[in-house]
Structure 1
Amino acid sequence: MADKLLVRRAAVLGAGVMGAQIAAHLTNAGVDTVLFDLPAKDGDPNGIVNKAIANLAKLSPAPLADKALAERIVPANYETGLELLDGCDLVIEAIAERMDWKQDLYRKIAPHVADHAVLASNTSGLGINALADVLPDAMRPRFLGVHFFNPPRYMHLAELIPAKSTDPSVLAKLEAFLTTTLGKGVVIAKDTPNFIGNRIGVFSMLAAMHHTEQLGLGFDTVDALTGPAIGRPKSATYRTADVVGLDTMAHVIKTMADTLPDDPWHKYFKAPKWLAALVEKGALGQKTGAGFYTKKGKDILVLDLKAQDYRPVASDLDPEVAALLKERDPSKKFAALRASDHPQAKFLWACFRDTFHYTAYHLESIADTARDVDLAIRWGYGWSMGPFETWQAAGWKQVAEWIAEDIVSGDAMSSAALPDWVFDGREGVHVTEGSYSPSREARVPRSANPVYGRQRFPDPLLGERFPEGRTVFENDGVRMWADENDDIAVVGFKTKMHTVNNHVLDGLQEAIGVAERDFAGMVIWQPKEPFSAGADLAGALGLLQAGDVAGFEAMVANFQATSQRIKYALVPVVAAVRGLALGGGCEFQMHAARSVFGLESYVGLVEAGVGLLPAGGGLKEFAVRASEKAGPNGDVFAELKVAFESVAMGKVSTSAMEARNLKLARDTDRIVFNAHELLHVAKAEARALAEGGYRPPMPARRIQVAGDVGIATFKMLLVNMLEGRFISPHDYEIASRIATVMCGGEVDRGALVDEEWLLRLEREHFVALAQMPKTQERIAHMLKTGKPLRN
């Protein structure tokens, strides 16, 4: 077999919610994908699959990074389409969680699966070895389990579960494919029910449900306690159950009860009375409009067990407990939680204790290392720290003693003893050399799979530090660094949300000078999202309110100078973008020699929302691109339409692919699916440009513009929107000025201008808008509320 999994075409078996979304994400990644299901009883035999593909456009969040990709998915059915499997290199089965159904399907497809193809079952907990039993001997080395978390496009975790017969090289190749091509964080799980993520994640929810009952807390109180207050998602416990579906939740709990008869916590593997009652009533959560929560008009109501009815959500954290949770030192925080008699504090300590106890007890049977457990819970459940990390941060030995005391006193959910390794004098399970593996009785370093060589900064576990390169240049706004003997330098911003102020502007210009002198290229990259939330609005508003118009105009000129410095640098400057790239952040990447986007990049020129227009060279750049695209006698106006709408409406892309459609990214810009590989790819792009004899573009001195006719045409569109009350008079004012700049001002259609002309127009209209009271109201409102004001 080749060293990597070569996937020209893939098949997904099963067009249910999960199968269709896996097919969608494969298609996002450029994999030619066939989606199978049963033949329809009447009409087109592919009717079931066609309906599922059409439904992808209605799902939120969107499974497709670009709606147009839906037509790329090939529909098929098991009666007339099985020959389509012959050309597939990867087959992912994703039908309902029934062992007999899956095995029947394997018998049916086996003759059609190519001799080299990998077959993977997307199951959330069925036995992989049992599934493998029905396969022909020749197929078994190429079969294994894969468990995508829902929704597959957005959830980082994918668990891989080898069977006893799985060829280790097949496992390694599929891991590399999932990591780079689909952008996943992969953990290898053992073949035990519910694998790692759901085994621990669902247990932590069951523990929370048990202690909710024991302490008589409201569901909303528990959600206030188990959400961001302890580093977990806003959906916390009961909102998560509503989103997943209470029927699904009850099914998963029943699966644990049926498949884990010997688990010391088995008596808790049953749906609490109130969960069973809701399921029986058909109140299944979000999908039926009521579960633990329901909506009445704009109000969210929560189920009150005593009243047997819904009431307004009220319960917040008790101030005493909230103060405990704000303690920065985890060891003091846990000591205070355990010592407190407050029911909310007792609840939290009990939930942490029982999850730590369960996780340590089962570690050896479910995973190779503690790292796999912590990453699975972080990536699959959105916790900021996994259970072992949390325990270690709180003081391993002390917490272990407390858990042991609670087991002896009968306060813990189970009397099972903690494993001996917990008490062997260790300070935790994660150290610089690796993470503890009970089965190997050793600290195991991170995977040696070559795919991880592409991750310069993997997701760090507690105590892990990755060398940050030597600092080459630094000021109050930016840090420029490089690895030893590397000819590509990296620059990151030091400001909050990576906003752009004068320190960042001056720092970038100086850094480019250093790169031109000492390096072959430069990458603008932030170690954490976002790429940049745009200009520093507070600083700008301060200058305006102080009446310092000259200072304000100088800041705008400096912004433009920085963008131009990026564009005309003598070495390639590559922008590595992920997360938000708004306003000035978007304009910087527009001026880079090339941009490399993470798939989940939310890009937009949103200045209209604060009463301004983009003035960091973005509008100028649209005019330049339109002129180049149209050619000497082409229609410049036609090339501007999409970009104008994007800017005037303040649109933000919902993916890097949509950024291309909105003209905020170029067709030549790269899209990377794994955010941890973004820096690697951006540096490779910079190096390739440099090796290819890079020269910056020649200054644009003959830009053909749409002129007065273009402005008039855009204004006609705007008048219709104004009269239909889709926009306010101030929106009309801003959009008219955006049109004026993009069309090159009140000059003849087809007139030739240069970049300086367009930059001056940007500055003039930006400064004029900034001095208007309505704009200053918008800026102040955004700073105060974080939301745009439509005045």
Structure 2
Amino acid sequence: MSNAASIRRVAVLGAGVMGAQIAAHLANADVPVVLFDLPAKDGDPNGIATRAIANLSKLNPAPFAVKERAALIKPANYDQHLELLRDCDLLIEAIAERPDWKADLYQRITPYLNERAILATNTSGLPINMLAESVPETARARFCGIHFFNPPRYMALVELIPCHGTAPAILDQLETFLVSTLGKGVIRAKDTPNFIANRVGVFSMAATIHHTEAFGLGLDLVDALTGPAIGRPKSATYRTADIVGLDTMGHVFKGSELALRQDPWRQYFKAPAWLSALIEKGALGQKTGAGIYANKGKQVLDPATGTYQDAGAKPDPAVQAMLKIKNPAEKFAALRASDHPQAQFLWAIHRDAFHYAAVLLAEIADNARDVDFAIRWGFGWGMGPFEIWQAAGWEQVATWIEQDIAAGKAMTTTPLPAWVGQVNGVHTPQGSYSAAENVYKPRSTLPVYQRQLYPEQVLGEAPPRYGETVFENSGVRLWTTGDDIGVLSFKSKMHVIGEDVLDGVLEALKIAEQRFSGLVLWQTEAPFSAGANLAQAVPVVLAGGFDALEHTVAKFQHTTAALRYSAIPVVAAAQGLALGGGCEFLMHCDRVVAALESYIGLVEVGVGLIPAGGGCKEFALRAMIEAKGGDLLPFLRPYFEAMAMAKVSRSAEESKQLGHLKPADVIVFNPNELLYVAKAQVRALAETGYRPPQPRLIRVAGRTGIAACQMALVNMRDGGFISAHDYQIGLYIAQALCGGEVDANTLVDEEWLLGLERKGFVELAKTPLTQARIAQMLTTGKPLRN
């Protein structure tokens, strides 16, 4: 039994926001959970835990991959159900950050632990060794910190923090479980205040707040400067605070100020007066409807007056131009040399983050890679602080920092540590720098990481080499790592499917059938595919080249059929978006291996068209198989609705419910394992004497089915849920799905249904309303509902 498999049942102690969401993500991974809390004072003794489970279904983003997962969580209370702990292999304590409460709980539960059970605390900053003193010695070797980030389903980072007595095998077992079963990025942190991510990330926020005031900038302007413009999330700084909750932010600052008594930057971990005033009056951010932003984000606080004003400030064009400089060294040189307050602000927040990370590295982390991954996975930065520094020129930036410290411009006079001048960067192909040991540390050799054929990289590591090219055109690359399985990757932006991709897939399939025992469709980065290349179609449509358009649609259908009927097994490995034609590619592969966070759907209605790469035909086939000779309509109806309403799944699990994925398709939680698992699936199919499926006749619902679909469309149109054009599009979908004007239960071949798809697609492309939808999508990226 592997380390991960030995954790079969988990108890989560504490049904608050974090505890309940950790339980939900465990349930997503098919791990049964017992969710404990105090007994309710009135009614059902399990009421607190039961209400927490019910509340999970109301949260957005959704903690559950599908709502049915809630059934895997059993509510419990400490007075009646401690015996249930005997069957749990992992206990995650997630109660309030009160050491005395945690100590009482540990004393109460440890008599019920089995001899292999791990006890872990989800504290975000309390000292693990202090908490360990409350754990009986018999269990101390199985005690550690396990710090999830919120929301646990979506945030990659989990920090593992051992106490002095934690057995190394326990950490290996937990890391394996977290990485593979729950799909997490695991960092082993030292037992220092706030650990790694919060220590550096919260400081970065404190520095941003300090410099906002120092340079006299508006809060919305700072958000415009500190979001995607510098490789950070769209919510940037102050919108993030509103999302997290200003009360939580205030608590974090207060806790940091108390805990960081030896930190040279301690004075900055203090909530500014305007933040305290908002908290005092209950304006806590998104959850109360107002915080730093109000009126649904249209207004922003003026800290000087405490009033709201219109939001939407934009950076100065000169500063925007500096941010667009591709070369990081040139960009930072321009920002530092500029006398514009916005440019000085951007240099200052980076300088102080670099300074802080360098001074703290030896104390808080095993190596610089752990710091960079912690900030990327925990705070959503595109690159960690050390990566940004190294990209901008290690020695030059270090010189600038030292000059600013000497000139009194930095936030403290603490010098850079000596090691900074002794290295020319912290990330190398051999490993990442450990300031504590003065060596470059290679990556973990834990067996679970062998499943990550192309793990996430930090800048400065040896770049990934994606095998030997077998065939390549402008749209795709077919390559091999030296085994008997080919890998096909798209080269287009967002992996959209145009003529070059179609040509490339057809040619790659021919070569793969001769050379390999199977083929994997895998992109080196998300998404799998945003669908057909609309930009290629527009000139054809505007020029009235509808015969050429029909020819392209026919080639698309020919390509999906080639995937279905290839002589070798074809497995798609998907993560992120798989929309429209990308979804149809998945539907025609022998098997799909999908990351949990895959968002799949036939969305052609949004651009005024219908699925015409075999999507309607596939749903007709699936309905026939599921009906088992009975009435087709109950099985067709959800497929029709999925296409007519352009439904996109919110998880790979939901994709199975919507029918875009088949029951036999595989879901993995760690996207870095996709290629490994997809190759294993190809191998399994090939080793068991793979034979391609044969085309079959499809029993269709005909006129009866079309009439039923039409009735649903009339109700939606008359109820104001769809437009008149949506109604027309829905009729074409009904025609292609139900087999056209034939009698119910008529047997038709695939080509008949594909012909109906092509006809509907081309007829709609001729209409001005569809042309307007396509133009809107290309110019704004948003659908037009006309």
TM-score of the aligned structures, taking structure 1 as reference length: 0.98
Match of 2:768 in 1: 773
Residue matched to 2:464: 466
State the SS of the aligned residue for 2:298.
Answer: strand
1:621 to partner: Cα distance: 0.9
Q: Distance in 1 between matches of 2:236 and 2:12?
A: 32
> Secondary structure of the equivalent of 2:141?
helix
- The answer for the alignment partner of 2:189 in structure 1 is 189
Equivalent pairs counted in the alignment come to 785
- State the one-letter code of the partner of 2:202: V
Say whether residues 1:346 and 2:344 are aligned partners: yes
Q: Which residue in 2 is equivalent to 1:432?
A: 429
Partner of 2:254: 254
- 1:234 shift after superposition: 1.2
> Offset of 1:306 from its aligned partner?
3.1
Conserved 8 A contact 2:4-2:180: no
Equivalent in the alignment of 2:111: 111
Tell me which residue corresponds to 1:326. 324
Moved over 3 A (4+): 1-5
CA contact 1:91–1:117 (8 Å) conserved in 2: yes
Quick one: which amino acid aligns to residue 577 of structure 2? L
Match of 1:220, SS state, is helix
Distance, in Å, in 2 between the alignment partners of 1:676 and 1:36 is 33
Q: Deviations over 1:343-385 (max 9, x none)?
A: 1111111111111111100101100000000000001101111
- Which one of 598, 606, 609 corresponds to residue 603 of structure 2? 606
Q: Which residue of 2 aligns with 1:14?
A: 14
Q: Could you tell me which of 712, 720, 724 is aligned with 2:715?
A: 720
Q: CA deviation at 1:555?
A: 0.2
SS of match in other structure, 2:126: coil
Q: Which residue of 1 aligns with 2:675?
A: 679
Letter matched to residue 671 of structure 1: I
Q: Distance in 1 between matches of 2:178 and 2:504?
A: 38
* CA deviation vs aligned residue, 1:167-219 (integer Å, no higher than 9, x gap): 11110110010001000001110000100000000000101111112122111
Provide, for residues 11-47 of structure 1, a one-character-per-residue CA deviation record: whole Å limited to 9, x for no partner. 1000000000000000000001110000000111000
Q: Distance in 2 between matches of 1:657 and 1:540?
A: 32
> Hey, what does 1:80 align to over in structure 2?
80
How far apart are the structure 2 equivalents of 1:724 and 1:391?
57
1:561-587 deviation per Cα after TM superposition (whole angstroms, max 9, x unaligned)? 000000000111001111110010000
Q: Which residue of 2 aligns with 1:647?
A: 643
Q: Could you tell me how far apart the structure 2 residues matched to 1:68 and 1:657 are?
A: 10
Aligned position for 2:453 = 456
- The counterpart of 2:556, out of the listed 550, 554, 559, is 559
Given that 2:149 and 2:155 are in contact with CA atoms closer than 8 Å, whether structure 1 keeps it comes out as yes
Conserved? CA contact 1:599–1:672, under 8 Å: yes
Matches within 5 A, 1:118-157: 118-157=118-157
In the alignment, what sits opposite 2:484? 487
Deviations 1:297-346 (A, max 9, x none): x6610111233310001421111111111111111111121111111111
Tell me the secondary structure at the aligned position of residue 139 of structure 1. helix
1:81-100 equivalences in 2 (<5 Å): 81-100=81-100
Q: What is the CA RMSD across the aligned residues, in angstroms?
A: 1.2
Match of 1:335 in 2: 333
Counterpart of 2:591 (choices 594, 597, 600) is: 594
User: 1:62 matched to which residue of 2?
Assistant: 62
Matching of residues 703-714 of structure 1 within 5 Å = 703-714=698-709
Partner amino acid for 2:716?
A: M
Deviations 1:374-412 (Å, cap 9, x if unpaired)? 000001101111000111111111111111111122211
Unaligned 5+ runs, structure 2: none
Cα-to-partner distance string for 1:53-77 (whole Å, 9 max, x where unaligned): 1100111100001012112210000
**In 1, Cα distance between the equivalents of 2:458 and 2:427?**
8
1:634 lines up with 2:634 in the alignment: no
Secondary structure at the aligned position of 1:595 is classed as: strand
* Offset, 1:113: 1.2
Quick one: which amino acid aligns to residue 94 of structure 2? A
1:667 is the counterpart of 2:663: yes
Mapped partners of 2:158, 2:297: distance in 1: 36
> Equivalent residue for 1:398?
396
**Structure 2 CA distance for partners of 1:473 and 1:33, relative to 1, 3 Å:** same
Written as runs of structure 1 = structure 2, the 5 A alignment for 1:267-306 is 267-295=267-295, 300-306=298-304
User: Which of residues 293, 304, 308 in structure 2 aligns to 1:310?
Assistant: 308
* Whole-Å separation in 2 of the counterparts to 1:246 and 1:591: 48
- The code of the aligned residue for 1:757 comes to W
SS in 2 for 1:275: helix
Counterpart Cα distance in 2 of 1:734 and 1:356? 55
Question: Residue 354 of structure 1 aligns to which amino acid in structure 2?
Answer: D
Counterpart-to-counterpart distance in 2, 1:2 and 1:607: 44
TM-score (norm 2): 0.99
Amino acid at match of 2:418: D
Contact 2:145–2:160 (CA under 8 A) maintained in structure 1: yes
Instruction: Compute the displacement of 1:653 (Å).
Output: 0.6
Query: d(CA) in 2 for partners of 1:314 and 1:10?
Result: 46
SS of 2:305 mapped into structure 1: coil
Aligned amino acid, residue 189 of structure 1: A
Shift of 1:260: 1.5
Separation in 2 of the partners of 1:446 and 1:641? 51
Residue 44 of structure 1 aligns with which residue?
44
String of CA shifts for 1:696-728, please: whole Å, max 9, x gaps.
Answer: 11111x211111111111111111222222222
Work out the CA distance in 2 between the residues paired with 1:547 and 1:629: 41
Match of residue 573 from structure 2: 576
Deviation string, structure 1 residues 496-523 (Cα, Å, up to 9, x no partner) = 1111111111110111111111101101
- Aligned partners of 1:285 and 1:204: how far apart in 2? 20
Deviation of the 1:5 alpha carbon: 5.3
Who is 2:31 aligned against? 31
Q: Decide which moves more: 182-191 or 309-318.
A: 309-318
Report the more deviating stretch, 114-123 or 271-280: 271-280
Pair 665,311 (structure 1): closer, same or farther in 2 beyond 3 Å: same
- Listed one character per residue, the Cα deviations across residues 418-462 of structure 1 (whole Å, up to 9, x for unaligned) are 1110011x2200011000001221101111111111111111110
Q: Indicate the SS of the match to 2:155.
A: coil
Offset of 1:590 from its aligned partner? 0.2
Aligned position for 1:547 = 544
Partner SS for 1:270: coil
SS at match of 1:251: helix
Residue 733 of structure 2 is aligned to residue 738 of structure 1: yes
User: Matches of 2:143 and 2:408 in 1, distance apart?
Assistant: 44
Long gaps (5+) in structure 1: none
Question: What is the one-letter code of the residue matched to 2:771?
Answer: Q
Is 2:298–2:312's contact at 8 Å kept on the other side of the alignment? no
Equivalents in 2 of 1:74, 1:305: separation in Å? Answer: 46
Amino acid at match of 2:351: R
Equivalent-residue separation in structure 1 for 2:731 and 2:20 (angstroms): 43
* CA offsets 1:146-185 (integer angstroms, 9 cap, x no match): 1100000000111111111011111011001000100000
Aligned-partner Cα distance in 2 for 1:238–1:661: 38
- Which of 685, 692, 698 is the aligned partner of 2:694? 698
Q: For residues 306 and 207 of structure 1, what CA distance do their matches in structure 2 show?
A: 19
For 2:486, what is the secondary structure of its paired residue? strand
Q: Which moved more, 1:555-564 or 1:306-315?
A: 306-315
Q: CA deviation at 1:2?
A: 6.5
Structure 2 counterparts to residues 526-541 of structure 1, below 5 A: 526-541=523-538
Deviation at 1:617, TM superposition (A): 0.6
1:444 to 441, 445, 458: 441
The Cα of 1:594 is off from its aligned counterpart by 0.3
Q: Does the 8 Å CA contact 1:299/1:312 hold for their aligned counterparts?
A: no
Q: Could you list the per-position Cα deviations for residues 707-758 of structure 1 after superposition, in whole angstroms to 9, with x for gaps in the alignment?
A: 1111111111111222222222211111111111111111111111111111
% identical aligned pairs: 62
Question: Could you give the per-residue CA deviations for residues 134-154 of structure 1, whole angstroms, max 9, x where no partner exists?
Answer: 112121111110110000000
CA contact (8 A) 2:3 2:176 kept: no
